[in-house]
Structure 1
Amino acid sequence: MSGQPSDDAAAVEESLRQPEAFARLYDQYAKDIHRYAMRRIGAEAADDVTSETFLVAFRARSRFNASAVGARPWLYGIAAKLIGRRRRSEIRMLRAYARTGSDPVVESWVEHADNRVVAQGVQQQLAGALAELSAGDRHVLLLVAWAEFTYQEVADALGIPLGTVRSRLNRARRKLRTALGADPALVVDAMEVARNG
């Protein structure tokens, strides 16, 4: 999932002298960043966001906090900001999922027919509910659900206080429960789709 913090810091430090050392971070995290961006804004835009994330990180590497828990939150924070600039694309994609019930990313990851049926039943409502969240609430919720970040990693990634992470996540979950009809089974299924999809 993530490299050792000391390995990440060493790669960044070494890249200041030998720029090609930064490729270790790319090798470690690019697939995960791309998968996360693809879930948020689609495959084509995810390619751009992934490239831009590492370009921005490379240019800002001298400001990397070597005492941080690793490069993962830093890189996801950059990606989240870039995705935020493409907010309209994300909203359009989520609304398309809500209308059609078809999420090619989820479909490619769901292995069993039973899971696919459950996912399709919940997916439309979930996508519509996600589209209605504020950008800040959506960033927090999806970093927790899709990137499997801890609250502290979300705070580090987005540069916000831990209490703000908790309140945004609570608000996002409450809005999802309301949008999904507050049926506990449906909410659990929706969160599983969000987490595993």
Structure 2
Amino acid sequence: MTSLRSVGDSDPPVVGSDAELVTGDAEQFGLLFDRHAGALHRYCAGRVGAEVAEDVVADVFCVAFKQRDRYDADRANALPWLYGIATNLLRRRWRQEAARYRAMAKAVPPLAGGDEPALRAVERTHAAEYVRLITSALGQMPRRQRDVLLLFALADLDYGEIATALAIPVGTVRSALHRARKRLRDVLPAHADTSQEMTS
């Protein structure tokens, strides 16, 4: 295992793979935070907002440090594992996440060219309804479908990485993502038709 070592006062420390950092000492584990906290924060912020995301990310690394003996050292990249921990923690915050989506709908700016107050009101109503439908669809999805969809959409993980994050087979990821997309398709076309009727 490659250890953290300083070559000289002005030289940066030599850092190994994520697996080496996870299984190393506390100082090495801290470098794992430096390496991946930004990506995890973006994912969590997309779900629960930036302020709450800071707490979630801190909790992710606390949990990861406590569970580091369970990490599969054959996996050089620890990010999917960390996303899995983050997703588990976010499951407890679904109400906050749904509330954030609703708040975003209310704050949606008007589209370009929407200078008239009546048009702005219609645009905001459409955006709010769109977000309400998506939030409702996410809330009604089985937890696994929602987790797979959000890891795919917000964290930009591929099927294999999602499988690693959630400790499920790749085939299960594929089927869960297919079902989640179908649920959204079943909801959103109805909204699109309503939007056209309201603006005609």
Q: Distance in 2 between matches of 1:92 and 1:183?
A: 20
Equivalent of residue 176 in structure 1, options 184, 187, 196: 184
Question: Is 1:146 aligned to 2:154, yes or no?
Answer: yes
1:7 maps onto 2:17 in alignment: yes
Q: How far off is 1:139 after superposition?
A: 1.2
Could you say which residue in structure 2 is the equivalent of 1:132? 137
Is the CA contact 2:145–2:180 (under 8 Å) kept in the aligned structure 1?
yes
**Distance in 2 separating the partners of 1:89 and 1:66:** 34
Question: Which ranges in structure 2 are unaligned for 5 or more consecutive residues?
Answer: 1-15, 114-123, 193-200
Secondary structure of 1:181 counterpart: helix
Q: Secondary structure at the match of 2:55?
A: helix
Q: Which moved more, 1:87-96 or 1:25-34?
A: 87-96
Give the distance between the partners of 1:123 and 1:76, measured in 2 at CA. Answer: 29
Q: After superposition, where does 1:28-107 map in structure 2 within 5 Å?
A: 28-98=35-105, 100=106, 102=108
When the two structures are superposed, what TM-score results if normalisation uses the length of structure 2?
0.71
Other structure's SS at 1:23 match: helix
Q: 1:69 to 1:179 in 2, by over 3 A?
A: farther
What residue number does 1:160 align with? 168
The structure whose residues are more often helix, as a share, is: 1
Partner of 1:109: none
Would the alpha carbon gap of residues 154 and 35 (structure 1) be closer, same or farther in structure 2, given more than 3 Å must change?
same
Q: Distance in 1 between matches of 2:17 and 2:169?
A: 26
- CA drift of 1:131 comes to 3.9
Return the letter of the residue paired with 1:7. Answer: S
The one-letter amino acid paired with 2:20 is A
Residues 24-33 or 73-82, more deviating = 24-33
Deviations 1:67-109 (A, max 9, x none): 12510110000000000011111122223334x1539xxxxxx
CA RMSD of aligned residues (A): 2.8
From the superposition, tell whether residues 123 and 66 of structure 1 become closer, same or farther in structure 2 (CA, over 3 Å): farther
Alpha-carbon distance in structure 1 between the residues aligned to 2:65 and 2:71: 10
SS at match of 2:97: helix
Native 8 Å contact 2:149 2:177 kept in 1: yes
CA shift for structure 1 position 181 = 0.5
| 2:195 alignment counterpart | none
> 5+ residue gaps in structure 1?
1-5, 104-112, 115-119, 185-197
C-alpha distance in 1, partners of 2:160/2:127? 29
Q: Indicate the percent of aligned positions where both proteins have the same amino acid.
A: 43
- Give the structure 2 partner of residue 117 of structure 1: none
Q: In the comparison of the two structures, how many residue pairs are matched?
A: 163
